[in-house]
Amino acid sequence: MIYTAIDNFYLTDEELQNSPSRRDGIDEATETNLRIYGCDLIQESGILLKLPQAVMATGQVLFHRFYCKKSFARFDVKIVAASCLWLATKLEESPRKARHVILVFHRMECRRENLPIEHLDLFSKKFTDLRVEVTRTERHILKEMGFVCHVEHPHKFISNYLATLEIPSELWQEAWNLANDSLRSTLCVRFKSEVIACGVVYAAARKFQVPLPENPPWWKAFDAEKSGIDEICRVLAFLYSLPKAQYKPVCKDGIPFTFSSRSADQQAQAVATEVPQSSPIVNNDAATLKTGLATVDLEADGPKLNEPKRGDDESKGMLTDRDTREESMLKPKSENRREGSSERSRERERDREWMKGRDRDNRGRDSDRERDEIERERAKDRSHRSRDRLKDSGGHSEKPRHHSSRDRDYRSSSYTSSRDKDRHRHRSYA
């Protein structure tokens, strides 16, 4: 077999057990869950962006390689997944714009967290921060890979192996599906793509109860080992036994793709669960906490000893301010939703006005282009008419009426010389 020299990113089991995430206190189950979650994001976003499967496979391999060198506690899984997919589109020559990738991930996060799908303004600070973060993470990925991003997938070997073993056609799709699912695990950083292809073919044959040649063993013809094939089948079986992966906020610097504060609230709740039970805030119940906050507000609003007495108008103003604050806090959810819908409608109106202005500019440019084309056609018609006139006149143009200065000088000099000769002749006769 011929191996690619630059496809050498493979780790041992000991190195995977001592990954940067484990050193940061993240357990094995959480790391596995986040790896599967990130690969699910890449696969789903690639389908929404109408990308080929090779792009999504490359993005998932880059995702696993990056987190073999960096920790989930330092880089958020959503940002890294978006950056890996964006980089894979360039590597596989199916480029997409960064704004398209960000908009797709924003929509997926809204759907996964059961939030109302809000419009992400391309001129907002939120979008600018996300684009800067995705670009910065892409540079981190390239730096950690040493700008060597060559990826070899097992899919191209599966077709050759199945054709060589003369396996029925119903196994082809099953083996292909298993190869796609294997990308959610760390098999791509543990085994070569040829070995993964052998494991996938073996698992598909076992599922459909299709016998494979064992004398001599078929895997030796493809330069694989039986232990590696068994390990691949075990990892795939464990992968199918897991529930659907969910997002767990373990990163301190994660930027959510949504406008809502639910992601931030989840992170705050996760941090609050880590607070020991002996803290007074956790032990107090909700009523005690509310009364304490009310007394603090009254003390803060009440007069102090060192301050001068305020007038009636100032006290009334303070009371009204406090009333308005309490009313705003006690507003029902329906009013808040109405306010949010009104803000969204204003943003949509702004976007429509901007689109109308852009359409007007495009129409003006189109009218200028039409005028230029009309002028060019008129000039062509004039030139064709002049050529037709020349053909009708016999192909010879009329002599110019005006003579050049050189011809005038020559004629005047010849005229004067002839006059001088005539004078000389008359003198000689006399």
Q: What pLDDT does residue 356 have?
A: 74
More confident residue, 372 or 304: 372
- Buried residues in 412-427 as b, exposed as e (16+ CB within 10 A): eeeeeeeeeeeeeeee
Average pLDDT of the chain to the nearest whole number? 76
Q: State the average pLDDT over residues 69-73.
A: 93
- Rounded to whole angstroms, how far apart are CA atoms 87 and 137? 10
Q: Which amino acid is residue 21, in one-letter code?
A: S
Please report the pLDDT score of residue 75 as a whole number: 93
- What span, in angstroms and rounded, lies between the C-alpha atoms of 75 and 253? 7
- Separation of alpha carbons 227 and 327, rounded Å: 69
Q: Which pLDDT tens digit goes with each residue over 311-339?
A: 444 444 444 455 555 454 544 445 555 66
Contact 119, 348 (CB under 8 A): yes
151-185 confidence digits (pLDDT tens): 889 998 998 898 888 888 788 889 999 999 999 99
pLDDT tens digits for range 115-133? 888 888 999 999 999 999 9
- Centroid of chain to Cα 46: 10
Phi-psi region of 209 (alpha: psi -120 to 50; beta: other; left: phi over 0): left
Q: Determine what percent of the chain is predicted with pLDDT higher than 70.
A: 66
**Residue 57: pLDDT above 70?**
yes
What is the reported pLDDT for 355?
76
pLDDT tens digit string along 10-44? 888 888 889 999 999 999 999 999 999 999 999 99
- What percent of the chain shows pLDDT beyond 90? 40
Give residue 214's pLDDT: 83
Query: What integer is the mean pLDDT of 39-63?
Result: 95
pLDDT digits (tens, 9 = 90+) for 255-312: 667 654 455 455 445 444 443 333 333 343 444 434 443 443 433 344 333 343 444 4
